[in-house]
Structure 1
Amino acid sequence: MKVQRMDHVGVIVNDLPAAKAFFLELGLEVIREVDVEGEWVERIIGLTDVRETVVMLKVPGGEANLELVKFYMPLDEKGIQPSFANTLGIRHIAFAVEDIEGITAKLKNKGAKLFGEITNYKDMYKLCYVRGPEGIIVELAEKIEETEVQ
């Protein structure tokens, strides 16, 4: 018995079009979008009267996918709870990128916010955290080539 690979990360959202647009802007691609309901999903996730839409996205050339889920039933009465980088639990999704400055500028034009600034980590990576729709936290990491450091 062993884990073979990471398949996907699921993110529950309220505004599916906004979340989908954010990740498409980041460069992910839609694999499929499907409405889900019925006893089979209820048995898997332990909820009743489930009605949801699932958008599965992929990173070009990557193996793991991102699943965005909008629940129409049952609803979460608490709504979106603000979180910070140090809040316990799963907190962010990290992507390796090219042209971190260009990507962050594009995302900021679409309403995303940088937590702080793009930072050079030991001349190995440029790193930053971006908050997207509904408080989704994304870490961007651009590998610094040795020629850039010299």
Structure 2
Amino acid sequence: MKVQKIDHVGINVNDLSAAKAFFLDIGFEVRAEWEMEGELLDRVVGLRGAKTACIALGASDSQAWIELVKYDHPSDENEIQQTHANTPGIRHIAIEVEDIEAIVAKLKQKGMETFSEIQQYEQSYKLCYVRGPEGIILELAEKVK
């Protein structure tokens, strides 16, 4: 018994178009868009009457992908609570990028929050945490050549 690979990471959102735009701005590509409902979905997610709209986003050279999910039914009764880098649970997704300076500038121009300026980690990476729509935290990482 062993893990083969990480297939995808699912992120639930309320504003599907804003989340999609955020990931497209970073350089992701849309792989697919679909809607789901019915008994199979109800059994898989453990909710009754579930109805979702989904977008699969990926990098051109990666098998792993990000699944953005908007639940049209049932809706979440709780508001999104802002989290911090040290809040327990899944807090961020690290993404290797090219031209981190251009990406961070573009995101700042669109009003996205960065945790700090771009930081140099030893002689291996330039790093920057970015908060996107609905509290999504990404760690952008560019390998130093």
Quick check: TM above 0.5? yes
CA contact 1:111–1:132 (8 Å) conserved in 2: no
TM-score, normalised to structure 2's length? 0.97
TM-score, normalised to structure 1's length? 0.94
User: Which residue in 2 is equivalent to 1:62?
Assistant: 62
Q: One-letter code of the match for 2:73?
A: M
- What are the Cα deviations for residues 103-150 of structure 1, in whole angstroms up to 9, with x where unaligned? 1001111221101121111121111100011110000011111xxxxx
Q: Counterpart of 1:77 in 2: which secondary structure?
A: coil
> Number of matched residues?
145
User: Which residue in 2 is equivalent to 1:148?
Assistant: none
Show structure 2 runs of 5+ residues with no match. none
Identity of aligned residues (%): 57
1:69-84 to 2 correspondence within 5 Å?
A: 69-84=69-84
Show structure 1 runs of 5+ residues with no match. 146-150
1:102 and 1:94 map into 2 onto residues whose CA distance is 17
User: Which residue in 1 is equivalent to 2:131?
Assistant: 131
1:55 and 1:133 map into 2 onto residues whose CA distance is 15
Q: One-letter code of the match for 1:48?
A: R
RMSD, matched Cα: 0.8
Q: CA deviation at 1:15?
A: 0.4
CA contact 1:114–1:130 (8 Å) conserved in 2: yes
- What are the Cα deviations for residues 63-92 of structure 1, in whole angstroms up to 9, with x where unaligned? 110000000111111121110000000001
2:100 and 2:27 map into 1 onto residues whose CA distance is 12
The ranges of structure 1 where at least 4 consecutive aligned residues each deviate by more than 6 angstroms after the TM superposition are none
2:122 and 2:41 map into 1 onto residues whose CA distance is 46
User: Which residue in 2 is equivalent to 1:99?
Assistant: 99
User: Which residue in 2 is equivalent to 1:48?
Assistant: 48
Whether 1:111 and 2:97 are equivalent positions in the alignment is no
Whether 1:7 and 2:7 are equivalent positions in the alignment is yes
Q: One-letter code of the match for 1:36?
A: M
Q: Counterpart of 1:9 in 2: which secondary structure?
A: strand
